[in-house]
Chains A and B, each alone.
Chain A
Amino acid sequence: MMGRKPYIREVSKTTWWLKHPRYMNYMLREVTSLFIGLYTAVAIDGVWRLQQGREAWEHFIAWTFSTEAVFMHIVFLVFAVIHTTTWFNVTPKAMPMHVGDEPLPDAAIIGAHYAGWVVVSVLALLIAGK
C-alpha cells in the first residue's frame, strides 16, 4: 500500500474575508451592528440627560443639531439601513411560512418586514411630532 500524506492548505485567520466579495458583504453586515450599538449608546445617553433635568436635556438636544451630530446621524442611518435590509432579506430562510398547504412566497415575508418598518416609523414620527 502506498503511503498517504494529505496536504493541508492554511486559511488566513485575518485576511480570509478579502478573498471573495461574498465574504466582504458578510463582514459589512457584521460591522454595521457596531454602528447600531454606537447609536444605542447615543440614545441611552439622551435618556440619561433627560433624567438629569431640563438643562442637561436641552443641552443634549442642542448638540443633536450640531454639524458633527448631524453627520454622525447620517452615518448611523446609512449603516442601520444596510443592517436592517440585509437581515430583512434573509428572513424567509429562517422563517419559511405556509398558508394552509401553500408556502408563502419570499417576497411576502420580506414585504411584511418592510411594512412593519414603515408602520413603526410612522408611529414614531407621529409621537415625536406631538
Chain B
Amino acid sequence: MSNDRTITLEVMRYRPETDAAPSFQSYVVPYVEEWVVLDALNYVKDNLDTTVSYRWSCHMAVCGSCGMMIDGEPKLSCKAFLRDYGSKIRVEPLSHFPIERDLVVVIDDFIEKFTRIRPYIIAQSEKPVSEGEYLQTPAQLHKYKQFTLCINCLLCYAACPQYAHNPEFVGPAALSMAHRYNLDSRDSGRDLRQEVSASHEGVWECSFVGACSDVCPKHVDPAAAIQQTKIASTMDYYKALLPGGK
C-alpha cells in the first residue's frame, strides 16, 4: 500500500443560505486500498472541511442512508470501493430528489408514498397472543423474502427515468414493498394497497426500463415486483368481467 497516492474527490456542494445553485468542490484525499467513498468523505469531514454534509450510519450496507451518485451512478457510498474508480471521483446527491444541503436530499416524498402503501401486515382478524404465532411454511416465506431485503436507500428512485419525469409515480421501492406484503400468507390487505399500486401513478406509470433492479444494492429486483403487480392487476380486471366476478 503506497502512502503518497491520492485521489481527487469532486463533491457537489449546495449551501442553501448562500448558494443559488450547486457547484463542485474538489478535495485531495489519500488513496487507501480498502477505503470506500464514504471513508474518503469522512476523511474530508475530519481533516479538510467540516462543513460538508452527507448522511450515513452503518457503514455496512444495511441502514440505507448513504446513497449518492458516484460518477453518475446511484451507489451506496459505503459499498463503493475507491479501487474500483479512477483517480478522480465525482460525488453528487441522489438524482431526482431535491437537494437539502450538499449530498443530503429531501426524501419526504418517498416517506409519504411508502406510508401510503401500508407497509405492514394487515391481518384478517387479530388473534390473541394466547393462540400462538401466525405460522408460515418455508415455501410461503420464499415467495416474498427477496422483497423484504429493501433498505430504503432510494438508489432505485435515483435511477428511474419515470420518477424523474413524473414525481407522482409511487416508484420502485414503495411498489415492491406493497408486493412484499401482498405476497405474505399472513396478510389480507391487498385490496387496500391496490388502491395505490394499481392506480395510474402506481405500477402503470412504469414502462419497465429496469434501471431500478440494475442499481439495487440488495437485489430486491423492484422491476420484477412491479411487473408481477401489473399481471395480477390485469387478472383482477378480467376476473371482474366474469359472471360472479366482484
Contacts and interface: CB of A to CB of B under 8 A. Distances in A.
Interface of A: 2-9, 11, 13, 16-17, 19-20, 22-23, 26, 30, 90, 92-96, 98, 101, 103
A96 B21 contact: no
A23 B138 contact: no
B231 A94 contact: yes
A26 to B, nearest CB: 5
Interface string B18-29: 010110000000
Contact of B161 (A2, A16, A93, A94): A16
B59 interface: no
Contacts of B16: 3-7
Nearest to B223: A93
Contacts of B106: 6
A23 B223 contact: no
A92 B223 CA distance: 11
B99 interface: yes
Interface stretch (B32-40, B116-124, B149-157, B210-218): B210-218
A58 B165 CA distance: 50
A3 B98 contact: no
Contact of B142 (A4, A5, A103): A103
Contacts of A7: 14, 16, 19, 21-22, 98-99
Given A22-B214, A23-B209, A6 B98 contact: yes
Contacts of B139: 98, 101
A8 B221 CA distance: 28
Contacts of A20: 72, 211
Nearest to A17: B161
A4 B21 CA distance: 14
Contacts of A96: 224, 228
Contacts of B165: 11, 13, 16
Contacts of A13: 165
Given A6-B106, A8-B99, 6 more contacts: A6-B16, A7-B99, A11-B95, A22-B209, A94-B224, A103-B142
A51 B208 CA distance: 40
Contacts of B231: 94-95
Residue with the highest number of chain A CB atoms closer than 10 Å, among B95, B96, B224: B224
B214 to A, nearest CB: 6
